[in-house]
Structure 1
């Protein structure tokens, strides 16, 4: 059966996607599965046995031992984008789904094995990026009255709290494993850079200072390292993170320091939008792409 797709051009049929695993210690890359269409944004399961990814508006799980994928039933949520997460205990799945009524993404949660989604963010657009280590709070980027800011909300829904102040575009928000900080990317200093704040939206600290556009900081489970996606300054507008660009996955100490490039690839949007660290902090999962002839 053909699955509806909301993806902008190039359409999902125009690319070949590879889910890869990168050993951050020795730089070795392994292709775990290749697809003849667009797939995006792997999340590693807490037990280390599978990767959750999105494609064609749906959510799938890739069994790393067999290489087989299966569809996770998200019921009416058939326009899921690349902002999705598993809960810290692995029992729940949160997705960002575009509703047909107003064409805006909203966040829902459901059982990790599939089920009926429950609406968490009535306001949209909202794009999920972080789940607090205690399992109680979600953090996400949202556009409200023309401003892109970072918000948090109780995992069962309720009143959202704005954590940034409307300066620049703020996106890619994610909790540190200790739960004290939220890392994010922002153009508040000009180019898109990696920032950190306390979980209540205070003490904003710039963590990267370079001549690049840096997106989607992801903390390793042991809290020692941060991975992020680097676009060359001349390739993109600072507020944009397009697909089909030459990009780099970079790594830096979470306490700060000079980043190092650990992988170069053709990708961008869909490569590492959400946290893709293995539970033992040894590997990163990501998606690379190749355009069809």
Structure 2
């Protein structure tokens, strides 16, 4: 879930009030670094670096040719076939400035977006490498129901969105899991017990929803990775750790997953911390296969960034040069 200017909560520590509706900004001496990691290597590849714009939350295109990221309240395409790779804006009509909660439809033809106004939107992308060519007209999906909506997942059949809802004008109210039709319609809030939840995302077979939750601890902010049967059922804890763990993302073939681990005692998922991206097998979540330490947090891995081949994934770091 991205930070929002509409409400202040311990679950959204790290909001950059300098940026307003444009989103977060790079600090002095700071850079955006977009990386691609392989399940078979400890060394990720740097595919884009800039000190001009803070880019966040890569989605991989269905044709594996590009990444979609947000930055400056807008959507950008990073063509992985160009050298050097440069971000190109994807023009969106009818969509307000966006945050880092965005996902692609299973066929890759549409992007679902969270606006900084707290509503969800859908916009066409075309097929193949057409992302960024021409202007897409977006459609608002959510009603004025008194809630802020943060999108994180879409079911494998493309029919249902999984999001987090929080009452507007609230302070410290935990997020709740909500499901809604991908075409727009009524929202159904799902009981996940006590504590804030975030990052709900469907498993590739559609049978589970993965998320991070504070339901298993009384320590403030101590999120852990869990899952529940899609739509209903008890939470099942997948990771019991001393770190604060957010945003589980499963590879398309269901065998591997990633998540980001924050330092113990972290509240929410703030920016500018030493964190680690963990790669795990889905039959052994508590034993990382590989770990990628970096300076980042917010924006590093908010949404699913797996490639269609299930062997590569993208993430973002935000290093600061020493003076």
Q: Same fold (TM over 0.5)?
A: yes
Deviations along 1:171-202, whole A, 9 cap, x unmatched?
00000000110000000112210010011121
**Equivalent residues of 2:35, 2:316 under 8 A apart:** yes
Question: Which of the numbers 151, 163, 168 marks the counterpart of 1:128?
Answer: 151
1:87 to 89, 92, 105: 105
Of 107-116 and 59-68, deviating more is 107-116
**d(CA) in 2 for partners of 1:277 and 1:180?**
19
Work out the CA distance in 1 between the residues paired with 2:102 and 2:249.
Answer: 14
Contact residue 41 and residue 272 of structure 1 kept, 8 A = yes
- Compute the TM-score of the two structures, normalised by the length of structure 2: 0.83
C-alpha deviation, 1:262, in angstroms? 1.9
Indicate the larger mover: 24-33 or 128-137. Answer: 24-33
Instruction: Compare the two structures and name the one with the higher strand fraction.
Output: 1
Residues 235-268 of structure 1: CA distance to partner in whole angstroms, max 9, x if unpaired? Answer: x12xx10000000011222233433142000000
Q: Residue in 1 aligned with 2:87?
A: 69
Instruction: State the match for 1:263 in structure 2.
Output: 292
8 Å CA contact 1:44–1:276 kept in 2: the answer is yes
Distance 2:121 2:285 in 1: 36
Q: TM-score, normalised by structure 1?
A: 0.91
Comparing 46-55 with 77-86, greater Cα deviation is found at: 77-86
CA contact (8 A) 1:149 1:166 kept: no
Farther-moved stretch of structure 1 (72-81 vs 267-276): 72-81
* Whole-Å separation in 2 of the counterparts to 1:284 and 1:157: 29
Change (3 A) 1:152 1:253: same
Q: Is the 8 A contact 2:192 2:235 kept in 1?
A: no
How much has 1:166 moved relative to structure 2?
Answer: 5.0
Is the Cα–Cα contact under 8 Å of residues 147 and 166 in structure 1 kept in the other structure? no
Query: What is the SS of the residue equivalent to 1:125?
Result: strand
Is residue 2:227 matched to residue 1:204?
no
**Corresponding position of 1:117:** 138
Q: How many aligned residue pairs are there?
A: 281
SS at match of 1:143: strand
Separation in structure 1 between the aligned mates of residue 43 and residue 252 of structure 2, nearest angstrom: 20
Deviation at 1:224, TM superposition (A): 0.6
CA RMSD between the two structures:
1.8
Consecutive unaligned residues of structure 2, counting only runs of 5 or more, are: 6-14, 19-23, 126-130
Q: What is residue 63 of structure 2 aligned with on the other side? A: 47
Structure 1 residue matching 2:116: 3-state secondary structure: strand
- Residues 43 and 52, structure 1, Cα contact 8 Å, conserved in 2: yes
Matches within 5 A, 1:1-293: 8=16, 11-14=24-27, 15-36=30-51, 37-66=53-82, 67-99=85-117, 105-112=118-125, 113=131, 114-122=135-143, 123=145, 124-144=147-167, 146-165=173-192, 167-190=194-217, 191-234=222-265, 236-237=266-267, 240-260=268-288, 261-291=290-320
Give ranges in structure 1 of 5+ residues lacking alignment: 100-104
